[in-house]
Amino acid sequence: MSNSSLHESNSRPSSPEHATPSEERRFPVSPGEMERGGGGDLHSRKLTKKASRSKQKQTQPLAVRNHNAIIKYGSLLLLVGQMVGLVMLMRYSRTHTDGELYLASTAVFMMEVMKLIICLGVVFYQTGALGTELYNHVWASPHEMLKLCVPSFLYTVQNNLLYLALTNLDAATYQILYQLKILTTALFSATMLGRRFTKTKWASLIVLTCGVAVVQVSGSSDHEASENEDRNRLVGLVAVLCAACTSGFSGVYFEKILKGSDVSLWIRNIQMGLPSVIIALVTVFINDSEEVSRKGFFVGYSPLVVSVITVQAVGGLIVAVVVKYADNVLKVFASSFSILLSCIISAFAFDFRPNLLFLVGAFLVMLSTAMYSKPPSKKRGLVHQRGKQPLPITHAGGL
């Protein structure tokens, strides 16, 4: 072989099958492969991972899948039960009284005490060292406790406002108007956390506002409000609006100061529960000191009132535990179904008769909830969800 031919054969790249790693990198890559990450490696890894997840799901034991389904749909039932049951019980307890009406401030205080006792019991059961946990996370963390006083105060105010709202509004109207907490949470997230939202989410907030406005203009109410002159729809509306604002701000503030924290849910509830109990007790004496001194702290209490307090305390903690098992679709379904169920129960229990405007507004609110919870596309999700953390569970009894 001549020198020229030898030089030519040495300079010519070998076939891809026999190429060395350094030679493989010199081979041209097609535009389609470049889009998939160069040589198709990234694309093939994604397909392999997807196929393995699908295969793992198919080979999952039937008992495990049934167990997951029970947890998932059991969470849905608990969410709906909490959303509807507490509102109905609270409305009934505020409108059906044979004697004296119980004081909302004392009910909020008892709810906070009960919730704190439950959390203390759970921490003691889990760790067996309640004193050590309290020292480490309460006594030895004054700065964090001070920061948590802000949401504790706001949640206490919020709970008192919700009692006031359900005294003056029927349950169905309350359920719809209180969905404004989605709007307030989004606005506070955008201003305080710099969070960006897709056009669909902003459109859903506009639809939500329109739906709430239509429901308020409709004037639908139950016969309890029309028969009792003490009921004031405007007072109920203002109370719901203020409660939605406190819910949105306190939730975003809670997320801002505690992002990245690894403290357990029960310890966090204890940290917030201690100042909440003190704030709630102060609220009792600021708002109702004369009533308490004349009629007693537990005036108007009955088994129904005790049930309301228990459901609010225990139900909120249960929902906080199980909400992580419910995906966005189930949460939207729970929210929409709770509105429908509230309308149906109100029609039978409180003689609630919705008109056409109310039904249109309710539909718009449910539509906006579905639009807001719709996940963004993959390309936009990388932009809009970068650094995004899930919103915290509120401390306000799961309302």
Counting other chains too, the contacts that 94-97 makes at CB distance below 8 Å and 24 or more residues apart are 94/163, 94/166, 94/167, 95/167, 95/224, 95/228, 95/350, 97/300
Q: What is the pLDDT of residue 340?
A: 84
Taking the chain (399 residues) in consecutive chunks of 10 residues, what is each chunk's mean pLDDT?
45 46 43 42 52 53 68 75 87 84 94 93 90 89 88 92 90 87 88 86 89 80 53 86 91 78 82 93 93 93 92 79 63 77 84 84 87 67 43 44
Residue 377, H or E segment? none
Compute the distance between CA of residue 234 and CA of residue 239 in angstroms, rounded to an integer: 9
Compute the distance between CA of residue 43 and CA of residue 145 in angstroms, rounded to an integer: 48
Amino acid letter, residue 140 = A
Asked whether 345 and 88 are in contact (CB, 8 A), the reply is yes
Compute the distance between CA of residue 177 and CA of residue 169 in angstroms, rounded to an integer: 10
Compute the distance between CA of residue 340 and CA of residue 120 in angstroms, rounded to an integer: 36
Taking the mean position of all CA atoms in its chain, how far away is CA 244? 13
Which tokens belong to 188? 């506070």
Instruction: Compute and round to an integer the Cα radius of gyration of the chain.
Output: 28
From residue 240, give the alpha-carbon distance in Å to each of 154, 169, 245. Answer: 14, 9, 9
Q: What is the pLDDT of residue 128?
A: 87
Q: What is the pLDDT of residue 288?
A: 93
Q: What is the pLDDT of residue 182?
A: 86
Q: Kindly report the number of other CB atoms within 10 A of residue 204's CB atom.
A: 23
Q: Kindly report the number of other CB atoms within 10 A of residue 182's CB atom.
A: 22
Q: Tokens 């909020």 map to which residue?
A: 108
Compute the distance between CA of residue 276 and CA of residue 311 in angstroms, rounded to an integer: 18
The pTM for the full model equals 0.72
Q: What is the pLDDT of residue 224?
A: 53
